C-alpha cells in the first residue's frame, strides 16, 4: 500500500449527470447543479472522460476554476482515450452509452504507459486544472484486467511517485475485478460502484476485507442502486442496472423501506449513510441532475439516524451485522 494519505470528504458529487447522462442539461443548468453542490458543502467531485465524451470534465473544470484550489478534491479516470469518431453523422448522439451529447468522439481503450499519460494530460486540459488529486483506472475488466495489472496500474503508480497525481486507484462495479486489483496493485483508493449499498453488499465478501488488509480506502458510488433507493416509496418498475429488478432484491427493498419508515428515516438518507459504517469507506459519491437533489442529499448525509435502525436491519440480515460492518 502506498504511503499516500488523501483526505476525502464524507460526501462527494459524481459528475456524470453534468455530462448529460440520461438527459441533456444546458451549460447554465449544469452550473446550477454544481453551484448547489458547493453551497451544500460538497467538496469532493468525481468525473471521467467517459462521462459525456469529455463534457463532464469541461463543465466541472470551468466551475471549479472559480473556487480556491485548496478547498476541493477532484478525481477523474483513465483507460479510455477520446478520439475522433469516423462514423459520426450530423445529429448523431452518444445515447448508446446513455449520454445525450454528439458522438463526434469515440472511446478507445489504452492501458499502455503512454496511453495513461495521454489520458491524464487530456483530462487536465479539459478540466483546466494543473493537478488531479486522485486518478482511477476506469472499468479495467471491460477491456483486459490482466493487461491493466501488467501495464496500466504500474503506470498509475509511477505517476503518483513522480507527483503528477496525488493518489491512484480503480473504479468498477465488478467485485472480483476490484478485489484482484486491490491485492495485486499498489492502490490508495478504490471506487466501488453499486456493490456496497443498503440494498446489496457483494463487495463485503472479498473487496472490503482485501481493502482492510492492504490499508486501501473505499469510495462508495451508485449507492441508490440506479435510483431504487432514492425514493421512500420504492417502485417495482424502477431501473436496475441493465434490466428488471430481480424478485429477491425487490422483496429486500420493500422490507428495508418498511424498516426505515418505522424509524422515520428517509430511505435515501439510510442509503447514503450506510456505506460509511464500514471502516474502509472514506466517502460516498452521489449524482444528481437538479439543484434540489444535491441540497437534499447533503441534508440526508447529515441526518441523525438512530442506531436501532441499523440494528433491526442487521437482525433481519438485510445488512452485515456489527457496529461498523
Question: Mind telling me the catalytic residues?
Answer: 51
CB neighbours of residue 27 within 10 Å: 12
DSSP class of residue 191 equals E
Within the chain, residue ranges assigned H as helices are: 27-39, 55-64, 113-127, 145-147, 153-161, 175-184, 207-214, 247-262, 267-273, 291-302, 307-315
Instruction: Write the Ramachandran bin of 189: left for phi over 0, alpha for psi from -120 to 50, otherwise beta.
Output: beta
DSSP class of residue 290 equals S
DSSP class of residue 99 equals B
192 forms bridges with which residues in the sheet? 172, 220
Cell 442502486: give the residue.
225
In angstroms, rounded to a whole number, what is the distance separating the alpha carbons of residues 194 and 183? 20
Residue 286's Cα: distance from chain center in Å?
7
Q: Judge contact between 17 and 294, C-beta under 8 A.
A: no
C-alpha cell, 167:
493518489
Give the chain's radius of gyration (CA, Å). Answer: 19
255 forms bridges with which residues in the sheet? none
In angstroms, rounded to a whole number, what is the distance separating the alpha carbons of residues 39 and 134? 23
Amino acid at each position: 500500500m502506498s504511503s499516500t494519505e488523501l483526505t476525502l470528504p464524507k460526501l462527494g458529487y459524481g459528475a456524470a449527470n453534468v455530462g448529460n447522462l440520461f438527459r441533456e442539461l444546458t451549460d447554465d443548468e449544469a452550473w446550477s447543479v454544481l453551484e448547489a453542490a458547493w453551497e451544500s458543502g460538497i467538496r469532493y467531485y468525481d468525473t471521467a472522460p467517459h462521462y459525456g465524451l469529455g463534457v463532464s470534465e469541461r463543465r466541472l473544470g470551468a466551475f471549479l476554476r472559480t473556487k480556491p484550489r485548496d478547498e476541493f478534491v477532484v478525481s477523474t479516470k483513465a483507460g479510455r482515450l477520446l478520439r475522433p469518431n469516423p462514423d459520426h453523422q450530423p445529429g448523431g448522439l452518444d445515447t448508446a452509452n446513455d449520454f445525450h451529447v454528439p458522438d463526434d468522439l469515440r472511446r478507445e481503450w489504452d492501458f499502455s504507459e503512454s496511453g495513461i499519460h495521454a489520458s491524464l494530460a487530456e483530462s487536465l486540459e479539459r478540466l483546466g486544472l494543473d493537478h488531479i488529486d486522485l486518478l482511477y483506472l476506469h472499468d479495467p475488466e471491460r477491456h483486459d484486467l490482466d493487461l491493466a495489472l501488467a501495464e496500466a496500474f504500474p503506470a498509475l503508480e509511477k505517476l503518483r511517485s513522480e507527483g503528477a497525481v496525488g493518489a491512484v486507484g480503480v473504479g468498477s462495479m465488478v467485485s472480483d475485478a476490484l478485489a484482484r486489483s486491490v491485492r495485486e496493485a499498489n492502490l490508495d483508493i478504490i471506487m466501488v460502484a453499486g456493490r456496497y449499498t443498503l440494498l446489496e453488499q457483494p463487495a463485503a465478501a472479498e473487496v472490503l476485507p482485501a481493502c482492510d488488509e492492504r490499508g486501501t480506502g473505499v469510495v462508495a458510488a451508485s449507492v441508490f442502486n440506479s435510483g431504487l433507493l432514492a425514493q421512500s416509496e420504492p417502485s417495482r418498475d424502477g431501473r436496475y442496472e441493465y434490466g428488471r429488478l430481480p424478485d429477491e432484491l425487490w422483496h429486500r427493498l420493500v422490507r428495508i423501506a418498511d424498516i426505515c419508515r418505522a424509524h422515520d428515516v428517509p430511505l435515501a438518507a439510510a442509503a447514503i449513510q450506510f456505506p460509511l459504517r464500514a471502516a474502509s469507506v472514506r466517502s460516498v459519491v452521489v449524482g444528481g441532475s437538479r439543484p434540489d437533489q444535491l441540497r437534499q442529499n447533503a441534508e440526508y448525509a447529515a441526518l441523525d439516524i438512530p442506531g436501532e435502525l441499523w440494528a433491526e436491519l442487521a437482525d433481519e440480515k438485510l445488512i452485515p451485522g456489527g457496529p461498523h460492518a
